[in-house]
Amino acid sequence: MITVEQHLAHVLGALAPLPARTVPLADAYGCVLAEDVVARLAVPPFDNSAMDGYAVRSDDVAAASAEQPVRLRVVGDVPAGSTARPVVEPGAAVRIMTGAPVPPGADAVVPVEDTDQPPGPGAGKALPAVVLIARGPAAGRHVRHAQEDVAPGDLVLAGGTVLGARHLSAAASVGYGSLRVRPRPRVGVLATGAELVAPGEPLRHGQIPDSNSTLMHGLVQESGVEAVDLGAVDDTPDALRRVLDQALGRVDAIVTSGGVSAGAYDVIKEVLEPLGAVRFVKVAMQPGKPQGFGLLEAPGAAPAVPLFALPGNPVSVFVSFHVLVRPALAKIRGGGSAVPLRDAVAAVGWTSPPGRQQYVPVVLDAEPDASGRVRVRPATSGGSGSHLVASLALADALAVVEPQTDRVDAGDAVRVMMIS
Ligand SMILES: Nc1nc2c(c(=O)[nH]1)N[C@H]1C(S)=C(S)[C@@H](COP(=O)(O)OP(=O)(O)OC[C@H]3O[C@@H](n4cnc5c(N)ncnc54)[C@H](O)[C@@H]3O)O[C@H]1N2
Ligand code: MOO
């Protein structure tokens, strides 16, 4: 048996990030940024108004009040998007809308509500010749200054950022229409097993619903990459070869479930072991002991495709995915966060198989312990039983118990991998 760390190091050592390419912003969502984004434009790009109203010289209106409004000549109109630059001389005002450039001479904006003019379109649309100012703003009031947020040359996004909506809008605002990114890997998911029936279909004796396809599909999506459903195959080698041949060249990685232990019909092992490319190992973890990993040759000049052969038990799939596949996908993707580990305390005791790192689906108690640590307890009385697929839905986290520990007692410190 090899340790989890040894197997993970072997997996990560075999992988490289997908090559970067330049894509329009609209296609960059969920990709990992492959360059630093340095502002090409300032934000805001020019001094502009924060209010619909009148751009004024603050000195002109310092004494304005409702009882004694100050009268100004309206010498221009600057809607947002306008290129007009009417000058505000002493005694003058320019009508201005939110976001429009503050005209030369003006140093403050009076909201329309502080004037004698009607707000809004309709009656408010016609440009008056004169405006009465009922309250004088201080210099700079309601003016948003150029570069207040970002100046040209500022670092806005660091390479390695996983691009979400706010990152893309930041890039747009500083002058980018496209970005250099690593594309989201496409990950094929394939279940194997003669007993599998599509979810919702009637079962004959000995058959079970294929829940792993759905599980793997969702886990791939939760990792921020694209899932490609390769379906389910029975335990016949030809069926598996056909699906793999079709998938190679179409996907950047493949995750399979089942067929990797000691069974006479373990089809993944039967097909892939003789090729030599996939290494089958026993990893000192529970669940998830039997694992396969290797690189499959793709047709033509396409790069080799990593294949993760996970054991068929559903909780084994779940644990193996979080412990091994997720970090591997982050490497292929060129970034992405590791699943966070948190210090917790066991609310009850349980046993752990000696010599294997145990991953127990746990729920978090609502109340922390006296020192503020979160308290956890196994999600089911079955502990880390790898077949307890329905109860897996209850879990908030996976408690990680080191191989040298064979029992956890109530009050013991444990680390938990936050999964939801
Ligand atoms: N003689 C030995 N037997 C087993 C060993 C061993 O070392 N020696 N290891 C056990 C461990 S640990 C695990 S884990 C499993 C792994 O087995 P396989 O990867 O070969 O998986 P299968 O035999 O195909 O299935 C195991 C289990 O999971 C159910 N399953 C499979 N696919 C799905 C699916 N898509 N959806 C829902 N459930 C699925 C399947 O029906 C089995 O119950 O081997 C142990 N045996
Ligand atoms: O290691 Mo198996 O994955 O116990 O169930």
48-144: CATH topology: Molybdopterin biosynthesis moeA protein; domain 3 (2.170.190)
CA distance linking residue 67 with residue 63, whole number of Å:
11
Kindly indicate whether the domain formed by 21-44+153-182 is annotated with CATH number 3.40.50.920: no
* Reported ipTM exceeds the 0.95 cut: yes
Give the pLDDT confidence score for residue 386 in this predicted structure.
65
Mean of all residue pLDDT scores within the chain: 94
Give the pLDDT confidence score for residue 420 in this predicted structure.
66
Which residues, in sequence order, are CB contacts of 369 under 8 Å at separation 6+? Answer: 345, 375
Give the pLDDT confidence score for residue 101 in this predicted structure.
97
289-321 residue pLDDT tens = 999 999 999 888 788 999 999 999 999 999 999
Atom 4, ligand 2: which residue's CA is nearest? 287
E strand or H helix at 156, and its extent? strand 155-157
Closest atom of ligand 1 relative to the 386 alpha carbon: 14
Residue 387 alpha carbon to ligand 1 centre in Å: 9
Which residues, in sequence order, are CB contacts of 86 under 8 Å at separation 6+? Answer: 75, 76, 77, 78, 94, 103
- What pairs with residue 255 in β-bridges? 189, 308
Give the pLDDT confidence score for residue 66 in this predicted structure.
97
Give the pLDDT confidence score for residue 300 in this predicted structure.
86
Q: Residue 121: which pLDDT band, with cuts at 50, 70 and 90? A: confident
- Whole-structure pTM value: 0.89
Q: What is the end-to-end Cα distance of the chain in Å, rounded?
A: 30
Q: Residue 189: which pLDDT band, with cuts at 50, 70 and 90? A: very high
Closest atom of ligand 1 relative to the 286 alpha carbon: 12
Which residues line the pocket of ligand 1, CB cutoff 6 A? 191, 193, 195-196, 208, 210-213, 257-263, 266, 287, 289-290, 311-314, 316, 386-387
Query: Cis omega (within 30 of 0) on the bond before 287?
Result: yes
126-136 residue pLDDT tens = 999 999 999 99
Closest atom of ligand 2 relative to the 319 alpha carbon: 3
CATH 3.90.105.10 domain residues, the chain = 21-44+153-182
Give the pLDDT confidence score for residue 156 in this predicted structure.
98
Cβ(330)–Cβ(323) under 8 Å?
Answer: no
pLDDT(389) > 90? no
CATH 2.170.190.11 domain residues, the chain = 48-144
Give the pLDDT confidence score for residue 312 in this predicted structure.
96
Atom 9, ligand 1: which residue's CA is nearest? 261
Which residues, in sequence order, are CB contacts of 113 under 8 Å at separation 6+? Answer: 53, 119
Single-letter amino acid code for the residue at 42: A
Percent of the chain residues topping a pLDDT of 70: 98
Ligand number with the minimum distance to the CA of 257: 1
Q: Residue 384: which pLDDT band, with cuts at 50, 70 and 90? A: low
Residue 356 alpha carbon to ligand 2 centre in Å: 11
Which residues, in sequence order, are CB contacts of 176 under 8 Å at separation 6+? Answer: 25, 37, 40
User: CATH number of the domain at 4-18+185-333, please?
Assistant: 3.40.980.10
Residue 383 alpha carbon to ligand 2 centre in Å: 12
31-63 residue pLDDT tens = 999 999 999 999 999 999 999 999 999 999 999
CATH 2.40.340.10 domain residues, the chain = 341-418
The encoded tokens of residue 166 equal 């706010």
Single-letter amino acid code for the residue at 16: A
341-418: CATH topology: Beta-clip (2.40.340)
pLDDT(271) > 90? yes
Cβ(306)–Cβ(286) under 8 Å?
Answer: no
Degrees, nearest 5: CA angle 218-356-5: 70
